[in-house]
Amino acid sequence: MLTSYRGSIHPLGSTVTDKGVNFAVFAGSAKQVYLCLFDKSGHTEVKRLAMFKHEGGYWSLFIDGAQQDDLYGFRVDGTYNPDKGHLYNPHKLLLDPYCRDFFGEFVWSERHFCHMPVGFLNSNDNACDMPKSKVTQVSKYQGKKPNTPWHKTLIYECHVKGATARHPDIPDKLKGTFLGLAETVFIDHLKHLGVTAIELLPVHAFISEQFLTTKGLQNYWGYNTLSFFTPHKDYLVNGDINEFKQMVERFHDAGIEVILDVVFNHTAEGGIDGPSISFKGFDNLSYYSTPANKPSVYINDTGCGNTLNISNPIALRLVLDSLRYWVEYMGVDGFRFDLAPILARQAEGFSPHHTFLQALHQDPVLQQVKLIAEPWDIGPGGYQLGRFPAPWREWNDRYRDTVRRFWRGDLGVLPELARRIHGSSDLFEHNQRGPLHSINFITSHDGFSLFDWTAFEQKHNLANGEGNRDGHSENYSFNCGVEGFTSDSEITQLRLQMQKNALLTLLLSKGVPMICAGTEMAHSQNGNNNAYCQDNFTSWLAWKNHQQHHPLAFFIQDVLSLRKQFAAFNHPFYVHDRDSRFAVSWFDEHAESLSPQQWREPKRKWLSYSITDQQLGQSLLIIFNASDSVVAMTLPSSAFSSHWQLALTTASTVNSEHNSEQLQVPAKTAWVYTSIKGDEKHG
C-alpha cells in the first residue's frame, strides 16, 4: 500500500530516499498536476495521484514505498488557449524533463499532438505511444579526469554509432554503442593518432522527426533532443545508463577527455503544430521563446520549429542542471554548444553578457570544464564568431573556408590565410583572448568529409529525399579532375596529397586543432554533404586494413609529433613585431620579405614563412604551393644552424637536391624544415 503526501521541490525530478521517492516538477500556471504510476510493462497506468502545489509554480509529491525503477509520467491540467500560448492538455502523458532514464520507445502518432487541428483540443490519450519516466538513482562519477590543457588538446569529432558500427574487431553486440567506443582497439586507435579529446555528436536521448520517418529515414546525427538528462537508449547494450559512465572512465584511463555536443537551442517538440511530449505540456511559455505580444507563435531561430527560452529562469535552470549532471554524475570534461548564439540572445540581440554566459562563468562546477561554441545560427545577428567571452572557445569556420580556398587555388587568399594559420587575431584578440580560443578545423560532421573535399565539387544529397536542395552548395572543394571515384592513379595520388596539405596546415596552425572521425582513413560519404539522416554505410566508418593504419593516420601522427616539439604552438598569446621571444617572418620565392604589393597580388598562390623561438633556439620554415605549377623557392638563411633540415613534405617524391638553397616546389605540395640550435646535421 503506497502512502503519498506533500514532498520537496528540491531537487527536481524523481529522487530516491530510504523511505520512498520524492517527485518534483515545474508547471507554471497549471491548475493541477497528476503523477501517473505504471506497471512494470509500462502499458498500464495503475495509479493517478494529485500533486501538491508550491509557490512559484512548483509541484511535489512524496510516495512512501516507491522505489528505484518505478515507471511514471505526468498529466497537467490547466487552461488550453493556443492564442495565449497555453497548451495544457491532461490527455497527454508527459515525460519528466528531469528524468535520468526512461522505459519504452517514442512512437509517432496523431495522439501526441496537443490539438487536432490547431485551436481544437485533441482528447486522444497518447500514453500507449510514450516512453515512461523511470525512477533512477545515479552515483557521482569517481574517476580521475585528464584535465588536458588547451595547448595540448587535439579534438576528434565522432559519432557514437558511426565510429564502430563496421569495426571488424569489436564484438557485434557492442558495435555502435558507448561500450563499443570503450573497446581497447578503438581507444588504441585514438592514442595512435595523438587524440586527447573525443567530441561526441549528441548523446542526449533524441527521436527522429516525423517527416523523416515517413520517408523511411532516421535522424542519425541526433540534433532533436527528447531528454536532456538521459543517454540515448540505442547506444546502450543492456539498457543500463551507467554504460555511458563506464565508457568515460575507460577514456579517462587512457588520458582522453570526453566532450559532448549538446543541443540546448530547441527540442523535439517542434512548432505549434508539433507533438506535446514534455515541455509544452508543463509550461509552454516558460520553456519556449515567442515574439512579444504573440504567444501563439514560436520564434524559430533554429529552423527546427522552436527555440528554447534560455532567458527564462526555468529554462535556464534546466540547462544548467543538465550540464552539471553530465559533469558531476557522468564524468564528462566539456561541451560543444550547437547554434550557441541562441543561448545568449536577448530581445535586443546577442549579448556576450547574457545571463546564461555569466551563470556558467560563476558556477563552481561548470567554470572548470571545456566550453566550445558553434558561433552561428539562422536567427537575427546569428553570426557571432569572435564575440564569445573567455574562457569560451569557438569553432572557426573562417579558418575552414580560408584553408579550403587556398589549397583549391582561389585568387587573393594569401592575406587571410596568414591571419588564420597564426590564430585569427582579428577575431579573438579584441576581447583579450588568444590563438588557443580558435578551434581550427577543415571538416566536421556537417559538410564534405576530407576525402570528398578532394573528390567532389558538387553535393550529391539525393538520398536525403529533398531533391538535392539541402546542404551547402559552396564547399570550396576541388575534385582533382574527376567528379567522384576514379581508378586514375595520378588523380588518386593528387587527392591523397591534397588531404595531407590540409592536415599539415591544420596541425601546424596556431589554435586548437579538430579532426573529424574518418579523416585518418579517407572516409567518403559519396559526396553527401548533409548526411544527417544517413544511418547506414554512407556515414559509418569503413575500417579497411585497420591493423596497418592508413597513410593519413601515420601522417597525422608525424605532424603532431613535430607540433609538440615547437613551443610556438603552445604559446597562449599572439606574436606581434618586436616580441621578446617569438618572431614570424614571411618570404617571397627569393627569400626576401613579402612586400605589401606582393601580399595583394591575387595570383600569388604560394607562401613561405618561418616561426622562430629565440629562447629555445628553434625555428620552423613552412612552404605552401597551392598553384598548378612548380615554383622555384630560395630558402632564407637558417637561424640556428648552417642548414635547414627537411622534416615533412606532402610531395609523393623528394628530389635528392632538396637541401640546396634552391628548392623546386612541386604544385599542390607543402614542405616543412627545421632549424635547431646546435643541430648541424643535414641530408
Tell me the catalytic residues: 338, 374
Residue partners of 258: CB distance under 8 A and separation at least 6: 197, 198, 200, 247, 248, 251, 252, 331, 332, 333
Question: How many Å is the Cα radius of gyration of the chain?
Answer: 27
Report how far residue 675's alpha carbon sits from residue 616's, in angstroms, rounded to the nearest whole number: 11
Angle at 165 between CA 161 and CA 170, to 5 degrees: 115
Cβ atoms of residues 45 and 38 within 8 Å: yes
Residue partners of 137: CB distance under 8 A and separation at least 6: 16, 68
187 φ, ψ to 5°?
Answer: -60, -40
Helix (H, G, I), strand (E, B) or coil at 170: coil
Q: Which residues pair with 582 in a beta bridge?
A: 613
Cell of 285: 511559455
Q: CB neighbours (10 Å) of residue 629?
A: 11
Q: Check whether the bond before 602 is cis (ω within 30° of 0).
A: no
- In terms of DSSP bridges, do strands 197-200 and 155-158 run parallel, antiparallel, or are they unpaired? parallel
Cell of 441: 578545423
Residue that has been written with the C-alpha cell 605540395 in this structure: 669
Cell of 177: 554503442
- In terms of DSSP bridges, do strands 370-373 and 334-337 run parallel, antiparallel, or are they unpaired? parallel
Q: CB neighbours (10 Å) of residue 67?
A: 11
- C-alpha distance from residue 675 to each of 154, 303, 421, 586 (Å): 25, 52, 20, 16
Cβ atoms of residues 438 and 424 within 8 Å: yes
Cell of 261: 555536443
